[in-house]
Amino acid sequence: MKTWQRIKNSPAVLQRYLVREKVIDTIRSFFKEKGFKEVFTPTLVSVPSIEPNLEVFKTQLRTARGVKKDGYLVMSPEFSIKKLLAAGVGNCFEIARCFRNEEEVSRLHNPEFTMLEWYRVNADYTDIMNDFEDLFLKIVGRNKLNYQGESYDLSKPWERISVAEAFSKYAAKDVLKVGDEDFYKIFFNEIEPALAEKKKPFFIYDYPVSQASLSRPKKEDPRFAERFEVFLAGIELGNCFSELTDAKEQKRRFEKDLGERKRAGKTVYPIDAELIAALKSGIPPVSGIAVGVDRLVMLAADAENISQTLFFPANEIFNL
């Protein structure tokens, strides 16, 4: 039975699906009250992001005159927003439809999803931690969240622990000696469960620079990068960077990512040269975060599975 039929049969079920609307309204008013600009960037772009583990939906643009161009559905609005930051838009946010291909459709993943990104200029990742706490509290509406039979304490401040400290305290390992290959296996088997015991959300910050992605190295210790992830109930809710603004370093990392893709036998895409040009033209110091809105909705609606918050989950559309 499809969701629309289920709702027709049991109208009470509809309430759970309406939580999404409330969450998105709350996000909008939260940022507008703080003076952030809401921006709207394209879903269809000419250059994809090139993370080694992620796959993009590829399509083709054909004009009436017969011009053909490769097109891609965005995995994140990040590249476009960074160009706007270079243009001088200032503090801004976007609630964007994003797409990822070749990923298991699961409790936490739908190939089409809603991403919230916000960027604060002249700020670092600790400012984004504060934003996240306030936003999440506003969405839930109180200091306590009941999710799947467990009660979580949301009162501020949430736990903040560095990756190095967490690996040493809970796994007795030096994170700089742990390879990227084993990082998340150790994290989920030894560290996350220990931190989750407190039944509170937590921020884990300062990742080894090999996992820096688009974040800038720490001034005090360049072996680490200013990046954090935030977890609640075993679910990763957001990934934040003090953004890398050095065009040369960004280009070098893109080339490294493409090298990894090539070695893994994956399609090697072009680098977004316009993004590099935008960084080169000058961009203010900025921190930004990507948050899976579907996961926020899932927590707010006390749903076990993301598909229970979508009117048309991919598994129903495609009979997966």
- Which spans of this chain sit near another protein (rule: CB under 8 A)? 1, 6, 8-11, 51-54, 103-104, 106-109, 180-185, 187-189, 193, 210-213, 234, 236, 239
Least distance (Å) between residue 274 CB and another protein: 21
Alpha helix ranges (H) inside 10-88: 14-33, 78-87
Name the minimum Å distance from CB 60 to another protein: 26
- Name the β-bridge partners of 167: none
Per-position DSSP letters for 184-196, written without gaps between them: HHHIIIIIHHHHH
Nearer CB in complex with another protein: 6/97 = 6
Q: Please say whether the beta carbons of 251 and 139 come within 8 A.
A: no
- Report the C-alpha gap between 87 and 101 in whole angstroms: 31
Minimum CB separation from another protein for residue 103, in Å? 6
- Would you say 130 or 305 has its CB closer to another protein? 305
3-class secondary structure, 306: helix
Nearest distance in Å: CB 220, another protein:
22
Q: Report the first-to-last Cα separation within the chain, whole angstroms.
A: 13
C-alpha closest to that of 123 among 96, 94, 156, 90: 90
Smaller CB distance to another protein: residue 103 or 316?
Answer: 103
Q: What is the DSSP string of 134-188?
A: HHHHHHH-SSEEEETTEEEE-PSSPEEEEHHHHHHHHH---GGGS-HHHHHHHII
Q: Pick between residue 108 and residue 276 the one whose CB is nearest to another protein.
A: 108
Closest CB to another protein among residues 10, 60: 10
**H or E stretch covering 129:** helix 125-140
Q: Report the residue number, 1 or 67, with the smaller CB distance to another protein.
A: 1
Q: How far is the CB of 93 from another protein (least distance, A)?
A: 20
Q: In what order do the strands lie in the sheet with 57-62?
A: 44-45, 68-73, 57-62
Q: Judged by CB, which is closer to another protein: 88, or 234?
A: 234
Shortest spacing between CB 101 and another protein, in angstroms: 11
**Residue 279 and residue 84 in contact, taking contact as beta carbons nearer than 8 Å:** no
HSE at residue 236, side-chain half, CA atoms within 13 A, is: 14
Minimum CB separation of residue 231 from another protein in Å reads 12
